Chains A and B, each alone.
Chain A
Amino acid sequence: MTSQINIRTTTVSQSQLDLENMDFHIPSFEPLDTLVASIEQVGVLHPPVVKETEDHRFIPVLGRRRLEAVSALKAHSFEVRVVDSMQTDDQTFIMAFWDNLERIKRDPAVRAYVVKRLLELIPRETLAKTIFPFLDISSKGPKLEKLRKIGGLETSLLAALSKGRLQEKSAGILSELPGDQRLSLMKLIDELGFNANKAFEVISHLFDLSIYLGEPITDMLARLEADQIINDYHLTVTEKASQFRNLITRWAFPDITENRRIFDKWVQDIRPPRNVKLRPGQSFEDESVTIEIRLDSRSKAKDFLNLTCEFQSHDYYENG
């Protein structure tokens, strides 16, 4: 890494640009159209930074999106700033890192991608001292390795993570799956319109089942029960999603699902008033029931609490 970087300004033609080269790429998952419109109207105010290769091609370092926009506008030539060709790849990537730091910190997909690239270029010990503190990443524990794996996910999955359709922990699980399985699963998640929380639930249960049963996720999804839900054209997307989620929960937690069924039947039989909700103990670990009562005023709530005094005197609280 270096503290001083030599940069010269020059004009390059479109054909000299190598946009396929991702050596110093810091991804962005925002659409390009706004930037194209802005450049079309006011031009490129800050020339992008590039690095010249031995065969006199120019690789984007800073401002790849500006270069892509200029390219989309089919401009013949444009001004760029060129870093010293003696500058090493790790020095150049670090330059891109600092320039994009806030975005890297903000976007989990970008952060994961950058961590993966940094680990390819720079020893972990150096990163632990100089870079990771700025990303609030601990160099200890499994987190770093998980980020590295997430960073290697397909662009479509990174985009889902960036947009909040996937949680980071879901992306972590997907990164453990073979490419075909994770893409199939993500396609299904998108088709069933799961939000990020429900997507995590489904992904994590299917992954656990897959490991435990030694059965690929794609095979589980092809099971008759799942297939019937996924391909039932009489169901709305919401109905499909709900039934599919219930199925996966039943596969993952058969005992708890059965306990839930018995509990729901019991609630149905005792027919509580509409303003009362009954909840079982966590994972049915005990026989406790939480009663949630919605009252429309404080005075009614107070009256109700007074009524419960009799229960207290009978030791219904705490000890049951």
Chain B
Amino acid sequence: MRFPVDEIWVEKEAEESYVTRRILGSLNSAKVLRDVDIAAESARIDMNPDPFVKGKKVLKLVSYKGAFVKSCPGTKTYLCCGLKILNIGQGCPIDCRYCALQVYFNNPVMEVYVNFEEMLNQLKVFLACAPPDHFFRFCTGEFTDSLALDDYTGYAVPLAETFSGRNNATLEFKTKTDFIEPLLRLENSRNIILSFSVNAPGFSKSEEIRAISLGRRLIAAGRSASHGFKVGFHFDPIVPFDGWEEEYSKTIDAIFDAVRPASIAWISMGVLRFVPDLKDVVTSRFGPVRYFYDSFAPGLDDKLRLSRNRRTAIYRSLAQRIRSYSADVLIYLCMESNSIWRESLGLDMRNNDQLIKLLDDAAKLSI
């Protein structure tokens, strides 16, 4: 399956790229815009009361001028896992109603960075210049879905090959799709973690518009594990809707039905938190979305969060269910404080370094 693309916008600097040629070749029914037409069409989309409706079917091919290797924009006030981002593009064809990217980027269209050789070079230089004792966990799924556009870009395989065999880095693909076929054809699965964003079944169906169904994602996770890949699962955002405990338990049961614990690199959890502006954007696009109107109060980073008591109860409940299947599988919390770690997982996570080591050690098992 491919996500539909109605228009391709080709920036002038992107025209010569072989990635551009490949994408144009594989999407020959899409309308192609260049230069001035892009500016005019962009302005037209911006005028739309919901620019994402069209934006999520527009692929803009960009020769990216910024840094391809970035640190995850965590905050100082909560524990951060030290993830490195490999920036392959921004925006995604899936339209999750809760998606934070709706407010982070000033652009409703999807961007693919087509200067792939430059991306690889920057990555190789970064890894080569790193101090010998440093270890890096990379992920491509922070500003876009890692695999949603891979059928057009073909980035996943060469990126995986770039990481394979290294002793100082792993690459995590994070996705709400099951587009794993090219990766399954790789000769080896070393240094790669195939992660799936998961949620409660009903919530996923109603809130993750155009995402591949949870069931298919879990089948893909099972196949990935069978091919020797370490797999990850990210419960983020967790939303305590009526009946949440039972519904999230169903997903946990399904995960362990699909994958043996030994194949799981980690399971992360993060209760919904958001910058205040997101609520306005979501409301303007979808009308009032009930769970955004729960008791959210400003946290230490000024993002809105549910109370500590509620978050702790949620994490504890999910962790307990996970532990009923495996005492060893690594569970971590995304952007939480030590007190929450202690109260919900019983772990004293005093600083970022401790968390980074925990995850690095888990990632190294994939090498």
Contact = CB atoms under 8 A, between A and B. Distances in A.
Contacts of A285: 299-300, 305, 308, 337
Given A140-B51, A212-B293, A255-B307, A283 B106 contact: no
Interface in A102-123: none
A318 to B, nearest CB: 11
Interface stretch (A20-28, A77-85, A141-149, A155-163): A141-149
In the complex, which of the residues A125, A140, A146 has the most CB atoms of chain B within 10 Å of its own CB atom? A140
A252 interface: yes
Contacts of B308: 255, 284-285
A240 B49 CA distance: 41
B46 interface: yes
Interface string B71-94: 000000000000000000000000
Contact of B283 (A142, A214, A253): A142
Contacts of A211: 288, 290, 293
Contacts of B209: none
A253 B305 CA distance: 11
B337 A286 contact: yes
A145 B295 contact: no
B281 A212 contact: no
Contacts of A125: 43-44, 47
A124 B51 CA distance: 13
A160 to B, nearest CB: 21
Given A128-B43, A139-B46, A212-B294, A146 B305 contact: no
A283 B47 contact: no
Interface in B281-303: 281, 283-284, 288, 290, 293-295, 297-300
Interface majority SS (helix, strand, loop, mixed), chain B: helix
Given A255-B309, A256-B307, A283 B297 contact: yes
Given A125-B43, A140-B46, A212-B290, A256 B297 contact: yes
Query: 10 closest pairs, A vs B, by CB?
Result: A142-B284, A255-B307, A211-B293, A283-B297, A212-B293, A208-B293, A211-B288, A124-B47, A142-B280, A140-B46
Interface residues of B, number: 27
Contacts of B297: 253, 256, 283
A212 B47 CA distance: 31
B270 to A, nearest CB: 15
A252 B306 CA distance: 11
11 contacts: A140-B46, A140-B51, A141-B284, A146-B280, A207-B293, A212-B290, A212-B294, A255-B295, A283-B297, A286-B337, A287-B339
A40 interface: no
Interface of A: 124-125, 128, 139-142, 145-146, 176, 207-209, 211-212, 214, 252-256, 259, 281-287
Given A255-B295, A282-B300, A286-B337, 18 more contacts: A128-B43, A128-B46, A139-B47, A140-B51, A141-B284, A142-B280, A146-B280, A176-B283, A208-B294, A214-B290, A252-B295, A253-B297, A253-B307, A281-B300, A283-B307, A285-B308, A285-B337, A286-B300
B310 interface: yes
A317 to B, nearest CB: 15
Given A176-B288, A255-B295, A281-B300, A142 B337 contact: no
Contacts of B284: 141-142, 145-146
Contacts of B294: 208, 212
Nearest to B44: A125
Contacts of A284: 307-308
B318 to A, nearest CB: 19
Contacts of B106: 140
B262 to A, nearest CB: 36
Contacts of B307: 253, 255-256, 259, 283-284
Interface string B308-323: 1110000000000000
In the complex, which of the residues A259, A285, A286, A287 has the most CB atoms of chain B within 10 Å of its own CB atom? A285
Contacts of A140: 46, 51, 106
A209 to B, nearest CB: 8
A281 B300 CA distance: 8
Contacts of A287: 339
A285 B78 CA distance: 10
Contacts of B290: 211-212, 214
A115 to B, nearest CB: 14
A141 B299 CA distance: 25
Contacts of A209: 293
A283 B298 contact: yes
Contacts of A139: 46-47
A286 B307 CA distance: 11
Nearest to A254: B295
A146 B283 CA distance: 10
B1 to A, nearest CB: 31
Interface in B311-343: 337, 339
